[in-house]
Amino acid sequence: MTGMTGMTGLALRSLRHRLTASVATFLAVLFGTVLIGAFATLAETAFAIDGVTAEQEADQETLTIMGIVVGSWGTVIVLFAVASTVGITAARRAGEIGLLRTIGATPRQARRLICREALAVAVCGALIGAVLAAGVGWLLLDLLRGELVASSVEFRGGPASVGAAAALVTLTSAVAAAIAARRATRGPASLTLRESEAETGRMRWYRVAVALLLIGYGVGLGAVTIFVMADSDDPYAAMQTSGSSSILVGVGFAMLAPALLRWVSAPAARLLARVGGRGAGYLAAYNTSRRAHRLASVLAPVIVLTSGAIGTLMLVSIDSRTLAGTGDYEETVNLLNNVVVGMVSLFAAIMVVNAFAAGTADRRAELRRLWLLGGTPAQIRRSLAVEAGIVAAVGLVVGTLGSLATIVPFSIARDEGVVPDAQLWIPAVIAVAVVLLVLTAARVAARATIRVAVQEVR
């Protein structure tokens, strides 16, 4: 383990034995690059327009807003999701790193191993994502042609935009892996082993600070919407300030996911115990509190998905009522809002499935011990289902709260009051969809992992 080549070879061989976690990281980077790169191509296309005539200037402004302003909402979500996935995947190897250090590996060698594994997966995902991003960007521009921009606008997205997106996501992955690696190698090897077994950890002060900053900024945009933009002559001024508020607040709450799980795990488990049984409810509550940092990787995308989807779809609903009959432009804006929330929601949904698959596979040894202690596969599955129910319940409550940062200010600005006048069924439909997604992902992941764990014992 003393050389650049030896450490790189060990990192690549290690990936084969951690296939589920590697695939989860790969998909996060892949779809993250696609989402960021697609909107970046619109910005590159905007910069390529000459802007000589009034029509060209309008096209340039529209594409700039779509590529930079709207794309930045998705960028915040993507970078947070990628950093969380990479960081948690690396942190889960604390026990393995502790063992490597006990047999002679230095902290520096252990950090190199984690960083090179993460970088190898991230580079592969980013390169493929960059290629796909160009095609998705072309489709977005095609959707805009003839509606918000002239039909003659040519797609100019190329290596600069998709390459920048790939580099940004790869850099985020590398930084997240480096931070997690440093935390995993801090202190003596014996302490690392004990901490990995205890599975405890406190949130860093800077994570809390960033979370509060995002929540405060989102709430501040809501205040600007009510007290400033509501009186603007531009009917879309209020949408520009309130549209991203639910996403910002949702990401802020997602960063506090470990603390939220610890606070609500016990009362939530008591409510869900009737569904899974007393033993399953107790075990789920214990695991949710003990494994809060790891289950936070599942809760975070649930919060972002709920907050962003409810907030944006309710914004579109209010806009369609209060500006009804204003023409094709209003219909196109709502269509684009739906496209954006669809892409972001799809990415968040993939992260939920990813997190459950990687997290449950990582618990194979724990589930095997439960089976050896007398638990049946059905009982273990019920316990995992109750855990998923806790995550879904917390995610829905916190995500719905975050969506109010968009709904309430925009509804007030459009003279509908604190509570919108109609289509209040939208949050309920999204809630049902999120619950089904979480429970289905948990059930599939649990069934596959338990089957493998039991077969290993037999």
Average pLDDT for residues 216-223, to the nearest whole number? Answer: 93
What local confidence, expressed as pLDDT, does residue 2 receive? Answer: 47
What local confidence, expressed as pLDDT, does residue 14 receive? Answer: 65
- State which residues form the domain around 446: 209-458
- Is the pLDDT score of 212 beyond 90? yes
What local confidence, expressed as pLDDT, does residue 265 receive? Answer: 65
What local confidence, expressed as pLDDT, does residue 6 receive? Answer: 56
Q: How far is residue 392 from each of residues 9, 29, 198, 267, 271, measured CA to CA in Å?
A: 40, 24, 25, 14, 13
Which own/partner pairs from 279-283 qualify as long-range (CB within 8 Å, at least 24 positions apart)? 279/379, 279/383, 280/379, 280/382, 280/383, 280/385, 280/386, 281/386, 283/383, 283/386
Residue 438 covered by a domain: yes
Task: Give this prediction's pTM.
Answer: 0.79
The single residue listed with the structure tokens 């690396």 is 90
Q: Which of 135, 169, 199 is the last residue of a domain?
A: 199
Which of 197-201, 358-362, 368-372 bottoms out in mean pLDDT, i.e. has the lowest? 197-201
The token pair that represents 264 in the structure block? 């609500």
The token pair that represents 439 in the structure block? 């429970």
List the one residue out of 441, 261, 290 whose CA is nearest residue 356: 441
- Is the pLDDT score of 88 beyond 80? no
Predicted confidence band of residue 185 (pLDDT cuts 50, 70, 90): confident
Contact 196, 105 (CB under 8 A): no
Residues 12, 88 share a domain: yes
d(CA 217, CA 267): 30
DSSP-based three-state secondary structure for 145: strand
What local confidence, expressed as pLDDT, does residue 396 receive? Answer: 93
Predicted confidence band of residue 94 (pLDDT cuts 50, 70, 90): low
Across the chain, mean pLDDT equals 79
Average pLDDT for residues 440-449, to the nearest whole number? Answer: 82
Residue 83 covered by a domain: yes
Q: How far is residue 247 from each of residues 32, 220, 243, 346, measured CA to CA in Å?
A: 16, 13, 8, 14
Residue 204 covered by a domain: no
Residues 322, 348 share a domain: yes
Q: What is the pLDDT of residues 369-423, one digit of tens each?
A: 777 777 777 777 787 888 888 888 889 999 999 999 999 999 999 888 899 988 8
Predicted confidence band of residue 198 (pLDDT cuts 50, 70, 90): very low
Average pLDDT for residues 227-252, to the nearest whole number? Answer: 85
d(CA 122, CA 126): 6
The token pair that represents 443 in the structure block? 């059930």
Q: What is the pLDDT of residues 95-150, one digit of tens each?
A: 667 677 777 777 788 788 888 888 888 999 999 999 999 999 998 888 888 777 88
Average pLDDT for residues 280-301, to the nearest whole number? Answer: 75
List the one residue out of 242, 248, 296 whose CA is nearest residue 408: 242
Residue 25 covered by a domain: yes
Q: Which of 145, 173, 199 is the last residue of a domain?
A: 199
d(CA 3, CA 85): 28
Residue 238 covered by a domain: yes
Residues 76, 160 share a domain: yes
Q: Which of 172, 199, 226 is the last residue of a domain?
A: 199
At 338, the amino acid letter reads N
Number of folded domains that form the chain: 2
- Is the pLDDT score of 67 beyond 60? yes
End-to-end CA distance of the chain: 35
Residues 71, 216 share a domain: no
What local confidence, expressed as pLDDT, does residue 428 receive? Answer: 94
The most confident of 70-74, 81-85, 146-150, 427-431, by mean pLDDT: 427-431
The single residue listed with the structure tokens 């960028």 is 75
Residues 392, 323 share a domain: yes
d(CA 212, CA 208): 6
What local confidence, expressed as pLDDT, does residue 144 receive? Answer: 80
% of the chain surpassing 70 pLDDT: 80
